[in-house]
Structure 1
Amino acid sequence: MDVRHLQYFLEVVKQKSFTKAAETLHITQPTISKMIKDIEDEYGVPLLERTGRKAVMTDAGEIVFKHAQKIVQSFDDLTNELSDLMNIKRGKITIGLPPMVGAYFFPRVLGRFREAYPDIMIQVFEAGAKKVMNDVESGALEIGVVVQPVDLKLFHTISFVKESLRLVVHPEHPLAVKEEVKLIELKDEPFILFREDFALHDQIIQTCIQAGYKPKIAYESSQWDFISQLAAAKLGVALLPETICKELNRKKVSVIKLVEPVIPWQLAIVWRKDRYLSFAAREWIAFTKKFL
């Protein structure tokens, strides 16, 4: 068994499918199946079970998965360090961006970086901030953009946005005439929230609970523009960052300052403190820090 066996095993677990893993790795399915069987034969235990179209880990598979992650990470670190030593300015960066963050803050950064480093490939994965955080923590992503606060014992951070949330309602809503609204005034309102994998989902719910009530959730979405459209259709109230609110059509919605309490929206670039960071990733961080 060599490191490729473990890399292929990890990809099958990630994709939950032999077929999808083979497509991602650009190899045939029989090849990847044989690699997994080689590991099973070597240790004498089954690692994966096919349940319908999905591949599910056995108890033995979970043990191999835990150690395989560490081994493959160490191998990648070795490869990256040797590449850096040879000063080969090539490589690949995996970055996680929440959808609304990526759309507003990073297109120009990514474009300028590509001009400066044409041989570095950037893979951008869009997901809610909670998933991005988890993927950076697990090593699935090198770098992520998340909503603060974060665990400073685990992550390096670069803060680049400090805003607060605003209330978004239909112009005919009774609260639309006010200059500012207290959170408790939304007690009986139906809320339109981001999905559970977005940090703002939990943040808004927890802040409402601290204010004395549990919000009534009418709709959830991963798209801020759809959330604003639902508010414009009188289907509930929404809480969106200032940057997003600047893009809204004020004929269709009213944006009001939220107070008591103010709900912060603070963004940061994060990466693990205890993992080797490739030359490409370090250059991207330094470049982005200057740009932002």
Structure 2
Amino acid sequence: MRFDLVDLRLFVNVCNAGSITGGAANSCITLQSASERIKGIEDELGTPLLIRSKTGVITTEVGRVFLQHAISVLQDVDYMRDELFQYSKGLHGHILLACNSSALNEYLPNKIAYFLKNNPHISFTLQEKLSLDIVHGLKSKTLPLGIVSNSVQLQGLQQLPFCDDELVVIVHQQHSLGSHSEVSLQDIVQEEFIGLMEHLALQQYIESHVKQLGKRLNYRVRLSSFDAVYQVVANGVGIAIVPRYTAQRLAHKDISIVTLKDSWAKRKLVICSHCFNELPQYYRDFIDCLTTNNL
């Protein structure tokens, strides 16, 4: 197939802009050149990727598949460029780790800090993703290492236990739920919620289970961190679902921690790879760091 990175980036920009004109502008090429390049991709593939109209463009089914692959290829190229740049600065290794919200925000920072301190020539790229997407990336070998919830199917991957990641409900003690020891999602789905931003992996995980109940959460506000969510609840506004580790770390005299008794909330995090032995030695050293109680 005869399309290059310029074509791929142009197609992504066109889809994001909703028009070839906007995509051309964001790609810093002329409209005529952009149109010719898009037409060239379609001719090469033998099928339309875009449905054009006076108001813009939308992707066909094939176009959506092409878009996903284009994004993946561009991300890989960016990762390659970043890693090689790190080597040019004297670093001897770069670790790409995909993980969910809980791992990224709660369990990894101290571990990574310890490892970096003891391995001055290693750098990291962390990607926050849904566990299901991480597993897909590991199985397709587009991701080398991941930390995921054991709630997803992990067949075909090598695994090591990392930590418990139980989800709980936090409420102000004066809230009607403040005296409860445990609740189910069904019990609280009508409450006012303080949530994480919609693109964050944990929030998407929670909402997937809300949808299974045929419900939608009523958000008073969405915030970017567990700490910010906790502060709002501590001030008597709404309730939230957070990792138990977070609730205990931020323990506040006015906050009650209520067990979420749904089975999906009893999560464990596991370290996964397609094959640990195929990873560079510095990856395996980091895995040893993750699985050792050195902090």
Residue 263 (structure 2) pairs with residue 257 (structure 1):
no
Residue of structure 2 equivalent to 1:161: 163
Distance 1:265 1:29, change over 3 A: farther
Residue of structure 1 equivalent to 2:125: 123
Residue of structure 1 equivalent to 2:178: 176
Say whether the 8 Å CA contact 1:131–1:197 is kept in structure 2.
no
Taking the aligned partners of 1:205 and 1:102, their CA distance within structure 2 comes to: 20
Give 2:162's aligned amino acid: F
Give 2:184's aligned amino acid: L
Residue 269 (structure 2) pairs with residue 267 (structure 1):
yes
Question: Given the alignment, which residue of 241, 247, 250 partners 1:248?
Answer: 250
| Within-5 A mapping of 1:172-211 | 172-178=174-180, 180-183=181-184, 186-187=187-188, 189-192=190-193, 193-194=195-196, 195=198, 197-199=200-202, 201-203=204-206, 206=209
Taking the aligned partners of 2:65 and 2:171, their CA distance within structure 1 comes to: 50
Taking the aligned partners of 2:115 and 2:201, their CA distance within structure 1 comes to: 27
Question: Given the alignment, which residue of 100, 106, 109 partners 2:108?
Answer: 106
Say whether the 8 Å CA contact 2:234–2:252 is kept in structure 1.
no
Taking the aligned partners of 2:184 and 2:153, their CA distance within structure 1 comes to: 27
Q: How far is the alpha carbon of 1:244 from its aligned partner?
A: 0.5
Distance 1:42 1:278, change over 3 A: farther
Residue of structure 2 equivalent to 1:76: none
Give 2:160's aligned amino acid: I
Tell me, which stretches of 5 or more residues in structure 1 are unaligned? 23-27, 73-88
Distance 1:56 1:259, change over 3 A: closer
Give 2:230's aligned amino acid: S
Say whether the 8 Å CA contact 1:231–1:238 is kept in structure 2.
yes
Residue of structure 1 equivalent to 2:217: 217
Residue of structure 2 equivalent to 1:96: 98
Give 1:95's aligned amino acid: L
* Number of corresponding residues: 265
Distance 1:66 1:279, change over 3 A: farther
Give 1:198's aligned amino acid: A
| Within-5 A mapping of 1:67-86 | none
Identity among equivalent pairs (%): 17
User: Which SS does the other structure have where 1:95 is aligned?
Assistant: strand
Give 1:285's aligned amino acid: I
Say whether the 8 Å CA contact 1:48–1:58 is kept in structure 2.
yes
Residue of structure 2 equivalent to 1:148: 150
Q: How far is the alpha carbon of 1:188 from its aligned partner?
A: 6.3
Taking the aligned partners of 2:8 and 2:248, their CA distance within structure 1 comes to: 43
Q: How far is the alpha carbon of 1:217 from its aligned partner?
A: 0.8
**Deviation per residue, 1:100-120 (Å, 9 max, x gap):** 422332223323333444333
**Deviation per residue, 1:199-240 (Å, 9 max, x gap):** 56445763896xxx5555112745323333343354432222
Say whether the 8 Å CA contact 2:158–2:274 is kept in structure 1.
yes
User: Which SS does the other structure have where 1:150 is aligned?
Assistant: coil
Distance 1:198 1:6, change over 3 A: same
Tell me, which stretches of 5 or more residues in structure 2 are unaligned? 17-22, 75-90
Distance 1:121 1:20, change over 3 A: farther
**Deviation per residue, 1:116-156 (Å, 9 max, x gap):** 44333321223454554455455553222222223222432
Give 1:166's aligned amino acid: V
Bigger drift between 226-235 and 10-19 goes to 10-19
Q: How far is the alpha carbon of 1:283 from its aligned partner?
A: 3.9
